[in-house]
């Protein structure tokens, strides 16, 4: 009889335990922080991929990258800084590049290569909230002790510290070793948090062609390793393509029959597809934020054959072809699918937005120029939280944007480098004149827009004057 009673009680006991535990388990699941995978292209034009008018017309369809748009949110007015280092600085800190590239022994702003140790990076913010972090690719925010990625919040890194243009040097007949302490070959490097980075091999044209393959494999390995730990992870893939030189991997060289750029486009799409497949097969899809974007628009070098879509100009210019790049984000169940918006968004907004997604606070001891766009990206509002932004090239303020209007106090000549100072600033209506061909000063009925545009500029300049600058370290 006792045996019968004991057996009868077991299901009841288990049922009680189930009801006691299940609410706790549900709370744990609901509080689970999302993984983040961020793919950042290098000098990648707005019009390269299919959903932005490229793909097949660029010589290579991009079905894998396009699938992010089909399963997520596509921005057509996502803005960046006009050049690599300030763009990456803005992405990592949520602050305009002009605030972060500073040093004590020189001009106050816009001169330091990278970011100082004082800055709080996206990786550091995520680390403080339980994330493990890895970067695989191009850093370009410091190449001296204390300024490498694993000094700035990343747990591990494999990639290059500087730009891909140095890949030309080892193969150059004119290169003179020892000519200057800074005129040295870039190396592929590797490090872990707390370690000195190791130089693995010279970054030459041969390595240039294979490095994006290698960092994709490393990122996939990182994702697999971290998936098994149940700890949320941040995988940052700043690819080296399509910066000059555009050298496809041997597996893709000649594959499209449409030239090196098309080959690299097909290559990139394949690598992104591998990343997406890895996440999906590991069962991480529902809890992973996947972002695809670029640091700035197409190369200024004509032979790069980059494509800016409907926009004028290239990188290092104040025009939309420099400032607008693709931005796709996927987070199933949280971000609406097949959603396209032309609302204003800046890369500095990613820092506070991702902080909001994971329930983190942004730093309060410094100016954060980015705004929280979580409600906008999650479809809770059709309106962006941003109305305006400023445009810099180096440490020179070129203009501002407010909604669909743009004011430029300086412009570039047709060769892309000569600054023209105008007697009267130019104003463009980007909806009416997307190629910025006809300034609105010719139309007296639009002079009202001068007031909000100048107010944006005035407010920014005041904030710069009040900003004490970035301490170093």
Contacts (Cβ under 8 Å, ≥6 apart) of 7: none
Q: Which of 129, 140, 180, 403 is catalytic?
A: 140
Q: Catalytic annotation on 84?
A: yes
Alpha helices in 115-179 (DSSP H): 122-127
What is the DSSP secondary structure assignment for residue 362, as one 8-state letter? Answer: P
Q: Catalytic annotation on 403?
A: no
Alpha helices in 282-381 (DSSP H): 320-323, 350-358, 374-377
Under 8 Å between Cβ of 351 and 94: yes
φ, ψ for residue 332, nearest 5 deg: -55, 135
The DSSP line for 219-281 is: HHHHHHHHHTTT--EEEEEE--TTSSS----TTTTTSSSS-HHHHHHHHHHHHHHHHHHHHHH
- Enumerate the active-site residues: 84, 140
């Amino acid at each position: 009889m006792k045996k019968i009673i004991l057996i009868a009680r077991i299901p009841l006991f288990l049922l009680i335990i189930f009801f006691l535990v299940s609410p706790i388990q549900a709370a744990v699941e609901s509080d689970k922080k999302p993984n983040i995978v961020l793919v950042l292209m290098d000098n990648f034009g707005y019009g390269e991929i299919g959903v932005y008018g490229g793909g097949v017309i660029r010589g290579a369809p991009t079905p894998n990258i396009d699938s992010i748009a089909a399963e997520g949110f596509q921005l057509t007015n996502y803005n960046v800084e006009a050049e690599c280092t300030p763009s990456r600085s803005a992405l990592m800190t949520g602050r305009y590049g002009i605030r972060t590239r500073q040093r004590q022994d020189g001009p106050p702003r816009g001169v330091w290569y990278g970011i100082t140790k004082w800055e709080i990076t996206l990786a550091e913010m995520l680390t403080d909230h339980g994330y493990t972090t890895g970067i695989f690719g191009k850093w370009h925010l410091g190449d001296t002790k204390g300024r490498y990625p694993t000094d700035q919040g990343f747990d591990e890194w494999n990639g290059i510290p500087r730009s891909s243009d140095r890949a030309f040097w080892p193969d150059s007949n004119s290169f003179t070793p020892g000519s200057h302490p800074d005129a040295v070959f870039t190396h592929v490097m590797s490090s872990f948090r707390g370690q000195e980075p190791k130089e693995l091999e010279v970054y030459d044209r041969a390595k240039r062609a294979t490095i994006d393959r290698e960092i994709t494999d490393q990122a996939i390995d990182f994702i697999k390793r971290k998936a098994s730990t149940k700890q949320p992870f941040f995988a940052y893939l700043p690819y080296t393509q399509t910066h000059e030189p555009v050298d496809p991997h041997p597996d893709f060289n000649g594959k499209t029959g449409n030239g090196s750029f098309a080959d690299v486009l097909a290559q990139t799409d394949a690598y992104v597809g591998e990343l997406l497949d890895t996440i999906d097969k590991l069962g991480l899809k529902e809890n992973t934020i996947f972002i695809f974007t670029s640091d700035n628009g197409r190369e200024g070098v004509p032979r790069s054959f980059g494509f800016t879509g409907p926009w004028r100009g290239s990188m290092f210019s104040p025009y939309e072809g420099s400032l607008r790049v693709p931005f796709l984000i996927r987070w199933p169940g949280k971000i609406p699918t097949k959603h396209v918006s032309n609302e204003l968004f800046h890369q500095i907004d990613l820092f506070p937005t991702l902080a909001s997604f994971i329930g983190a606070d942004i730093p309060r001891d410094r100016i954060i120029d980015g705004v929280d766009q979580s409600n906008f990206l999650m479809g809770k509002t059709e309106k962006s939280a941003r109305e305006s932004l400023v445009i810099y090239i180096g440490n020179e303020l070129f203009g501002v944007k407010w909604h669909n209007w743009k004011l430029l106090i300086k412009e570039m000549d047709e060769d892309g480098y000569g600054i023209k100072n105008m007697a009267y600033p130019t104003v463009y209506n980007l909806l009416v004149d997307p190629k910025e061909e006809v300034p609105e000063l010719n139309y007296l009925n639009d002079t009202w827009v001068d007031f909000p545009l100048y107010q944006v500029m005035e407010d920014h300049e005041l904030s710069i004057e009040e900003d004490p600058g970035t301490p170093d370290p």
